[in-house]
């Protein structure tokens, strides 16, 4: 009676949940990309590698120091964020005056170095990370593993906290103003270069936190972020980078669209986001939430 086009509810809702989880990662990653791009004028190609580093940091913390998931959820983003801060101070800050292209190439190169080193040290086959919350709820129409439910809620909460911090706090106002006119903000007495470093660190930390959340669901592997970052680029093109809320909404929606495609036409599930991107480019080239800059 509850069957849609011959698809059983558990299959449908199962895929929708998977879509929501993917969407949560798209949202967290595109949010970080947008915040970083706003301040640094750099598309952070290293984002996928930093997501992977987050997952690895959690895995290593557990394996080597017995640090539980919940502590790693805080520690790993700090560690990876600090590594990001070092990269920004050493390399990125020297190329802000150049064309955007160079930031893209530089961070692409960094991604290759980081992913290559992890692959060299730990190989490319994944390692499992035990789920920190066992069990699940039987909702009648589907079985919901508790941890997966937690991931969706946690990712949504992190996105909304980020939105609040940027749109409603004093630090966020500095950030927004510095995105528009860094020279003037600096002439008001705000240390803009430090603000830029902090922004990069936080953006990278967000990617790492997404990686920690992903560790118990996916295998922890050197290349787990490689394809993801390419999909996230498409998400960013679809949403446009002008709006924080836009990134969040676009991320979650595209995850759901992907999930639905998996139910109704599985062969297209890998490519549907790119098709959406092509359609958006046709209809609204600046992106759904973008302003032409």
CB of 139 to other proteins, least distance (A): 32
| 96 sits near other proteins (criterion: CB under 8 A) | no
Q: Report residue 49 as tokens.
A: 């590698």
Question: Count of residues binding other proteins (CB under 8 A)?
Answer: 62
| 186 sits near other proteins (criterion: CB under 8 A) | yes
Burial (CB count within 10 angstroms: exposed 0-12, middle 13-18, buried 19+), residue 263 = buried
**CB-nearer residue toward other proteins: 151 or 238:** 238
Closest among 257, 246, 232, 228 to 284, alpha carbons compared: 246
> Of residues 116, 137, 161, 265, which one binds other proteins by CB under 8 A?
116
Which positions from 232 to 271 touch other proteins by CB under 8 A, shown as an x/- string?
-xx-xx-----------------------------x--xx
CB of 217 to other proteins, least distance (A): 21
Give the range of 54-62, 157-165, 222-230, 252-260 binding other proteins by CB under 8 A.
Answer: 222-230
Q: Report residue 118 as tokens.
A: 């992890």
Which positions from 23 to 52 touch other proteins by CB under 8 A, shown as an x/- string?
--------------------x---------
Closest among 26, 36, 53 to 211, alpha carbons compared: 53
Q: How far apart are CA 235 and CA 27, in angstroms?
A: 9
Give the range of 52-60, 74-82, 103-111, 142-150 binding other proteins by CB under 8 A.
Answer: 103-111
DSSP alpha helices (H): ranges in the chain? 9-40, 47-65, 69-90, 100-122, 146-168, 170-180, 182-187, 192-214, 226-239, 244-264, 272-283
CB of 67 to other proteins, least distance (A): 27
> Of residues 6, 64, 135, 183, which one binds other proteins by CB under 8 A?
183
Q: How far apart are CA 276 and CA 291, in angstroms?
A: 19
Burial (CB count within 10 angstroms: exposed 0-12, middle 13-18, buried 19+), residue 202 = buried
CB of 255 to other proteins, least distance (A): 16
| 10 sits near other proteins (criterion: CB under 8 A) | no
């Amino acid at each position: 009676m509850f069957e849609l086009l011959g698809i059983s509810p558990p299959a449908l809702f199962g895929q929708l949940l998977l879509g929501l989880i993917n969407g949560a990662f798209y949202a967290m990653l595109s949010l970080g990309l947008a915040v970083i791009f706003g301040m640094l004028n750099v598309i952070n190609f290293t984002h996928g590698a930093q997501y992977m580093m987050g997952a690895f940091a959690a895995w290593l913390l557990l394996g080597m120091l017995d640090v539980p998931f919940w502590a790693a959820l805080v520690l790993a983003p700090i560690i990876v964020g600090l590594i990001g801060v070092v990269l920004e101070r050493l390399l990125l800050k020297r190329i802000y005056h150049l064309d955007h292209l160079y930031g893209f190439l530089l961070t692409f190169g960094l991604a290759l170095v980081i992913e290559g080193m992890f692959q060299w040290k730990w190989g490319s086959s994944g390692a499992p990370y035990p789920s920190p919350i066992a069990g699940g709820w039987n909702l009648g129409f589907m079985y919901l593993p508790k941890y997966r439910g937690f991931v969706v809620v946690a990712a949504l909460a992190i996105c909304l906290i980020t939105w609040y911090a940027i749109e409603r706090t004093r630090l966020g106002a500095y950030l927004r103003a510095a995105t528009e006119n860094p020279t003037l903000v600096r002439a008001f007495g705000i240390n803009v270069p430090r603000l830029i470093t902090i922004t990069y660190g936080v953006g990278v930390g967000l990617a790492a936190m997404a990686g920690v959340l992903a560790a118990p669901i996916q295998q922890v592997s050197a290349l787990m972020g490689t394809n993801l970052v390419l999909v996230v680029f498409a998400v960013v093109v679809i949403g446009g980078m002008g709006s924080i809320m836009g990134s969040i909404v676009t991320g979650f929606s595209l995850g759901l669209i992907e999930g639905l495609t998996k139910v109704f036409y599985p062969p297209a599930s890998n490519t549907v986001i790119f098709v959406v991107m092509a359609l958006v480019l046709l209809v609204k080239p600046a992106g759904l939430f973008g302003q032409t800059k």
